[in-house]
Amino acid sequence: MMARPIRRRATLTASLRALELVRDGDAQLLLEHGRPDAAAARIAIIDNARIAAIELAVAVRAAAAGDIEPAQRIARDLRLDQLEILS
């Protein structure tokens, strides 16, 4: 039986940089195919996700240091009370 490879999770910074590359590549392809509205929508969706991830990371760091106000603010702003997990 082969050993399973160790899967390492990318850092948040690396993941966000990769997401930028995907965003830019997708937008470029959409623009090349005459779909500027779709390109703008793709950029907005990915940028919103990136900003939310950064805000969540800042809130977690603050909470770990004992300041829960940023976590409460981001939970409210992102409407985490309405979070649904789909499986």
Residue of 60 and 87 predicted with greater confidence: 60
Please report, rounded to a whole number, the percentage of residues in the chain having pLDDT higher than 70. Answer: 91
Residue 70 makes CB contacts below 8 A (sequence gap 6+) with 58, 59, 62, 63
Q: Is residue 39 part of a domain?
A: yes
For the chain, what is the domain count? 1
DSSP for residue 15: H
Q: Is residue 27 part of a domain?
A: yes
Range of the domain at 36: 12-80
The band of 86, judged by pLDDT with boundaries at 50, 70 and 90, is low
Q: With 90 as the cut, is the pLDDT of residue 79 above it?
A: no
What pLDDT is recorded for position 60?
94
SS (H, E, C) 22-79: HHHHHHHHHHHCCCHHHHHHHHHHHHHHHHHHHHHHHHHHHHHCCCCHHHHHHHHHCC
Question: How does the average pLDDT of the chain come out, rounded?
Answer: 90
- Find out whether 49 and 19 touch, Cβ atoms under 8 Å: yes
